[in-house]
Chain A
Amino acid sequence: MMIPSLLHRFKIQAGIFGVLVCLIGVFMLLSPETFLSSRIYISFGSTIPFVAILALGLTFLVIAGEMDMSFPSVMAIAGLTFTDVFLVTQNPFLGIIAALLVGGLAGWINGLLVVKVGVPSIIATIGTQFFWRGLSTLLASGLARNIVPVRETLLHHILVGRIGGLIPAQALWCLGIAGGLALMLNRHVLGDHVLFIGDDIHTAHLMGINTDNVRMLLFVFMGTVSALVSVMVCLEMANWWPTQGEGYLLLVFASIFIGGTSVFGGEGTVFGTFIGAIIIGIIEAGIISAGLSGFWTRLVYGLIIVISVSVYARLMNIRRALH
């Protein structure tokens, strides 16, 4: 009795986890020498966390019924802040503080536009996306920054070092962040507010939730998360470049929607997004080690996204405007 009812309640999470297991199984069959060795998983542990952390932050906004298209550009401006402060002061800790402040500020501006001015979030953040990308390219005169000395700093070891010479620190950060956010969403009053705001903002308001403050907070949070990931990327690559962050946009959306978060808001899980990010992260390696051309990657992404969101639509039996 117990197990089937649990399965029923968590059918989406169970489904997505099943997909991940199947994928890994198929890849193991196709290229056992790669997928049965630990090296590939350590490499996943260094790349997937960046997408996963971004997607986790954005999941909260999507559950609240909002969107943030600007995070790749917020990464660029925050990353530039980090590298420039580091280059001037030689202090990476000052750099990350400045970067987080800039990220938070960018998120706050998004929040102002959406919550106070009333611009729909997708439109407001497309605007700020251009703005921050433009500003960072201008400030950097279109040139990349090299920060090789950062590899010797404590911050590098803390955020992206290899623990025991093996496990990427960012993977542990990612796990910790995912655990903390899952707790927030499911058990904290803030998560409760986010769910109701996304479900029906009118109800949330009538029931005494300060919808403005919660939405502002989520935008600031997403800005800060983008800044954190951009610093991690700069540290990992010892580099900043003007198009930093651009490649993450679609991967992050794919992770969230493969993970079963509803684009209509009010529904979504941290676990789903986390597994979604892993699925997105292993496909490319799986395809290439199976001997297929990298061109297949996008096609497979496309298939997995379309199939998974179709399955969710049937499972949850929600179609828009058919309440």
Chain B
Amino acid sequence: MENSCQDNRAISPLLSLREISKSFDGVEALQSVDLDLFSGEILGLVGDNGAGKSTLIKILSGVHAPDTGQLNIGGRQVDFKTYDVRRARRLGIETVFQDCSLGEKQPLWRNIFVGRPITNRLGFIRVREQKRAALEILHHHVGLKGAGINANARVRHLSGGERQGLTIGRAMYFDSRIIVLDEPTTALSLKEVDKVLSFVGQIVRQDKACIYISHNMSHLYRVAHRIVLMNRGRIVGEYLKNDLSLEELGVKLMMAHTISDGGR
């Protein structure tokens, strides 16, 4: 594992973003961001609130189109005019969004397959298959053992942690090549955090890749190979995990914040 990051440099990235800029109503959320993701690596993305992390991964996952810039996936350039969440999924990108993306009033079996139900050729949903898969996810991928957890349960009755577990379990189930996790552990118990981190750890062995966003440096430091620091819409630092300790990472983060506050 020691040299895996350096080795990766030689091969072409799984995914690369070039000069991505995006503004919302005149507010520049991203300014000319470059980012590569290599096969077999876990990339930690850190930065203050509002640094632009979520915006960046939403561009990657087809939710937003950037104002300018390019995205290459597997060596092919993506056309943003036709790029959307569906296409991103087809290209192997699976995202757990920061805002728990679940339909509160819908049963679990619908929530797990929202946007991509299992259907026959006429578009009718195979409900039994979806329910079976839902149970499998609940039992094997997520430790949802609370009372009243079954495929027909509604999300509005779930606890915050159960909801987060569900969105992660859903992402695990689809077994994609690139997995993006935006603040996946905020509501989880220690045991569930361990589960998520070990899931993330497995990604490497399978030649997949992951972008892991978190404000929890110790979680992030445990899994990431490379850490990218963002501040006010720009990338301001990039470190290999082996080159710095958790404490040093904390210091870098603090410094980025103070510098940007001083510049205001």
Contact = CB atoms under 8 A, between A and B. Distances in A.
Chain B residues touching A, majority SS: loop
A193 B20 CA distance: 31
B104 A199 contact: yes
Interface string B194-222: 00000000000000000000000000000
A199 B105 contact: yes
Given A187-B127, A190-B123, A195-B110, A208 B115 contact: yes
Interface stretch (B29-37, B38-46, B95-103): B95-103
Contact count band on B: 20 to 34
A192 B63 contact: no
Contacts of B102: 200, 203
Given A190-B123, A192-B125, A323-B156, A266 B105 contact: yes
B235 to A, nearest CB: 24
Contacts of A199: 103-106
Given A199-B104, A208-B116, A192 B110 contact: yes
A204 interface: yes
Contact of A266 (B63, B104, B117, B119): B104
Contacts of A189: 117, 119, 123-125
Given A203-B114, A207-B115, A208-B86, A195 B106 contact: yes
B117 A207 contact: no
Interface string B1-44: 00000000000000000000000000000000000000000000
Interface string A17-58: 000000000000000000000000000000000000000000
A196 B125 contact: no
A266 B125 CA distance: 18
Contacts of A210: 84
A206 B97 contact: yes
A203 B124 contact: no
B3 to A, nearest CB: 37
Interface in A248-294: 262, 266-267
B240 interface: no
A211 to B, nearest CB: 11
A262 B115 CA distance: 22
Nearest to B90: A208
B172 to A, nearest CB: 16
B57 to A, nearest CB: 11
A189 B103 CA distance: 15
A206 B114 CA distance: 10
Contacts of A192: 110, 114, 117, 125
A267 B97 contact: no
A187 B110 CA distance: 11
B85 interface: yes
Contact of A205 (B63, B119, B124): B63
A290 to B, nearest CB: 39
Contacts of A190: 123
Nearest to B110: A192
Interface string A188-220: 111010011001101111111110000000000
Contacts of B103: 195-196, 199-200, 203-204, 266
Contacts of B105: 195, 199, 262, 266-267
Nearest to A210: B84
Contacts of B115: 196, 204, 207-209
A42 B110 CA distance: 40
A208 B99 CA distance: 15
Nearest to A267: B105
Contact of B124 (A188, A206, A208, A266): A188
Closest CB pairs A-B (n = 4): A208-B85, A207-B115, A199-B103, A208-B115
Interface of B: 62-63, 84-86, 89, 97, 99, 101-106, 110, 114-117, 119, 123-125, 127, 152, 156
